[in-house]
């Protein structure tokens, strides 16, 4: 069972979100509301809240300050910021300060349900990770060294996203770990298999390039390690619901 805090200064927006979502299917049993950042922070401090869905442009305390304070109080709280295109760069930078995800306006029922489902999966993966780490502390096996590799894995993946032949076996060679063991700790730390994690990073970078540059689709595809622009377009549409050009037009025209 999970709890959700919706933060927006417009009552019609909060009501709309509350009425849109099928909470039973997501196992969300408590839904709270706040009208500004300060009220949201008080709610976080006085309630056990799992996920916050907040407008980035909040009165009295902006989204980034709220995220920092909320994470200081509860490092495991999940924060999703809803932003317009004008605040897109701000939302992307907020990811570096503990924000877990962002949604670009206008948001639909499917957008919200999809991100909530992903965040709930993230919470559940954390629980599994915690159990694994607890067991690892009581053993002398290889699992006890998992935490030593996380930063190294992230750095190598980030540096090799543009390489079309980058694979789990390439990564294992870089770190000198078996592919089986590496596959397990990647799933443990990032919540998804290696291929899915790399694809998500590439799609996220593609979104930024589509909105912040005039690069052609095949140029973006090539810069992110896709040999076939058609495959890139298919994967992008699967992840976002839009073709790359459609995404660029949709966001910039709204």
Confidence of residue 62 (pLDDT cuts 50, 70, 90): confident
Question: Span 31-44, mean pLDDT?
Answer: 92
Q: Which two tokens stand for residue 101?
A: 């995800």
Q: What is the pLDDT of residues 87-136, one digit of tens each?
A: 566 656 666 667 888 888 788 888 889 999 999 988 888 876 776 666 55
pTM for this entry = 0.53
Phi first, then psi, for residue 188 (nearest 5°) are -65, -45
Q: What is the pLDDT of residues 146-179, one digit of tens each?
A: 567 888 899 899 999 999 999 999 998 998 888 8
Write down all domains in the chain, each with its CATH number in brackets.
2-118 (3.40.50.2300), 139-254 (1.10.10.60)
12/254: higher pLDDT: 12
């Amino acid at each position: 069972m999970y709890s959700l805090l919706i933060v927006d200064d417009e009552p019609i927006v909060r009501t709309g979100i509350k009425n849109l979502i099928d909470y039973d299917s997501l196992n969300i049993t408590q839904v709270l509301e706040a009208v500004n950042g300060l009220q949201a922070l008080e709610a976080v401090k006085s309630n056990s809240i799992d996920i916050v869905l907040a407008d980035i442009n909040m009165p009295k305390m902006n989204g980034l300050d709220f995220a920092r304070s909320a994470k200081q109080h509860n490092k495991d709280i999940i924060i999703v910021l809803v932003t317009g295109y004008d605040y897109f760069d701000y939302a992307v930078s907020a990811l570096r300060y503990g924000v877990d995800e962002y949604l670009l306006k206008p948001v639909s029922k499917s957008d919200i349900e999809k991100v909530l489902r992903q965040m709930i999966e993230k919470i559940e993966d954390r629980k599994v990770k915690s159990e694994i780490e607890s067991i690892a502390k009581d053993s002398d096996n290889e699992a006890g060294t998992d935490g030593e590799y996380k930063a190294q894995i992230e750095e190598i993946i980030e540096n090799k996203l543009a390489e079309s032949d980058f694979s789990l076996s390439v990564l294992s060679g870089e770190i000198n770990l078996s592919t089986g063991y590496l596959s397990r700790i990647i799933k443990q730390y990032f919540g998804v298999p290696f291929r899915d994690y790399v694809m998500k990073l590439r799609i996220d970078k593609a979104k930024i390039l589509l909105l912040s540059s005039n690069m052609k689709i095949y140029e973006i595809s090539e810069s992110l390690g896709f040999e076939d622009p058609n495959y890139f377009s298919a994967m992008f549409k699967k992840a976002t619901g839009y073709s790359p050009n459609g995404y660029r037009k949709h966001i910039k025209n709204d």
